[in-house]
């Protein structure tokens, strides 16, 4: 398999081909496509749309982005790796010397702007500091108490009493270890809550003001790739809930064209009881597909046309993959 990559060597997974010749032929069509539009962002990123700008793009994109007719993205052809889509490919080095330095130096992780490393170091430092402070207070108080008791005791002592005291000294250590574990678990829980809150804020950037907005807290609890599929498919199938099935005058919260066993409507679509119920069912289905190796919109096309898309218009299939990929790649990056 082959795919197109941009100038930073990132795969454009909506363009995948079985041979290099097919990829070269389609690249030529892109260059000569009269409907193609390229969005050029201030940071150098370039995003190409075959069928023109999607609906709502100008409301969500950076206002300083330039819109140009034609394909101004520098696509190249390379073989598709098995792990493409599961991780972000490294950017092309700015220069040969800088690339060699980064490849050979172990300090490249700590370059300015590596926020993930700094955040990880801050979390580890917080846990170590809290644990050391707790141990210092507990052991310090125990040591002072023992020294005072030793000063007040007489020199004569029964050997059996001393042995009994030594045997009982293990109990505070056990309780101390339990308390330390509770502190660490509490810290980890707070860190997880903070990460989930940040993810929810990120998702709201795309769905705020739409019926799907009320689902943001439940989407944020899903794995990132599953959440990316949930948002991307909902945009394509219902415009984030604007066009969705209803039953008895109420919203069925089915924004993905999902057909299951849950309170089906006359047209065969599932009608969920609540936004949380909808994310539980649809998230579980997408989770099972991801577990089977589906990692990008091109592989998720079975959601649109079942086990085979031979009956569907190839252009419709390609359009579905491209539209779902708009928000999928923004979230799963």
Domain definitions of the chain by residue range: 2-92, 115-207, 211-331
- Report the distance separating Cα 306 and Cα 169, nearest Å: 67
Could you tell me which of 207, 206, 204 has the C-alpha nearest to residue 196? 204
Question: What mean pLDDT is reported for the chain?
Answer: 78
* Distance (Å) of CA 194 to CA 19, 97, 124, 225, 280: 45, 39, 15, 19, 22
Q: Per residue in 237-265, pLDDT tens?
A: 999 999 999 998 899 999 999 998 888 88
Least confident of 17-21, 201-205, 327-331: 17-21
- Report the distance separating Cα 86 and Cα 82, nearest Å: 9
- Report the distance separating Cα 99 and Cα 109, nearest Å: 13
pLDDT at 320 over 50: yes
* The two structure tokens encoding residue 212: 């799907």
- Report the distance separating Cα 193 and Cα 90, nearest Å: 29
- pTM for the full model? 0.45
Residues 6+ away with beta carbon under 8 Å from 9? 78, 89, 90, 91, 92
**Which of the pair, 174 or 270, is modelled with greater confidence?**
270
Q: How many residues does the chain have?
A: 333
Residues 6+ away with beta carbon under 8 Å from 50? 30, 33, 35, 36, 318, 322
Least confident of 20-24, 32-36, 53-57, 61-65: 61-65
With H, G, I as helix, E, B as strand and everything else as coil, classify residue 145.
helix
Query: Which stretches of 10-158 are DSSP H helices?
Result: 20-31, 57-60, 96-104, 115-152
pLDDT class of 124 with cuts at 50, 70, 90: confident
pLDDT class of 195 with cuts at 50, 70, 90: confident
């Amino acid at each position: 398999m082959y795919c197109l990559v941009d100038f930073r060597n990132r795969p454009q997974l909506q363009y995948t081909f079985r041979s290099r010749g097919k990829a070269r032929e389609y690249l030529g069509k892109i260059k000569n496509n009269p409907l193609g539009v390229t969005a050029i962002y201030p940071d150098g990123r370039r995003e190409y749309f075959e069928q023109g700008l999607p609906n709502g793009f100008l409301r969500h994109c950076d206002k300083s982005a330039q819109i140009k007719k034609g394909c101004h993205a520098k696509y190249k052809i390379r073989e598709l790796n098995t792990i493409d889509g599961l991780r972000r490919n490294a950017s092309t080095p700015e220069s040969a010397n800088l690339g060699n330095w980064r490849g050979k130096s172990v300090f490249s992780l700590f370059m300015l702007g590596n926020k993930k490393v700094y955040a990880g170091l801050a979390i580890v430092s917080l846990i170590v500091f809290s644990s050391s402070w707790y141990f210092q207070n507990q052991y310090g108080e125990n040591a002072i108490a023992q020294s005072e008791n030793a000063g007040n005791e007489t020199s004569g002592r029964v050997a059996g009493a001393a042995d009994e005291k030594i045997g009982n000294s293990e109990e505070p250590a056990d309780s101390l270890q339990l308390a330390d574990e509770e502190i660490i678990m509490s810290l980890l829980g707070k860190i997880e809550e903070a990460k989930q809150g940040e993810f929810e804020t990120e998702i709201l950037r795309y769905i705020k003001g739409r019926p799907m907005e009320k689902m943001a807290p439940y989407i944020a609890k899903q794995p990132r790739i599953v959440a990316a599929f949930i948002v991307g498919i909902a945009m394509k199938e219902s415009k984030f809930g604007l066009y969705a099935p209803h039953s008895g005058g109420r919203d069925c919260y089915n924004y993905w064209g999902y057909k299951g066993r849950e309170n089906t409507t006359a047209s065969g679509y599932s009608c969920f009881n609540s936004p949380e119920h909808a994310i539980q069912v649809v998230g579980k289905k997408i989770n099972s597909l991801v577990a089977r190796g589906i990692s990008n919109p091109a592989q998720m096309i079975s959601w649109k046309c079942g086990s085979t898309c031979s009956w569907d218009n190839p252009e419709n299939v390609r359009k579905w993959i491209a539209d779902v990929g708009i928000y999928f790649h923004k979230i799963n990056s």
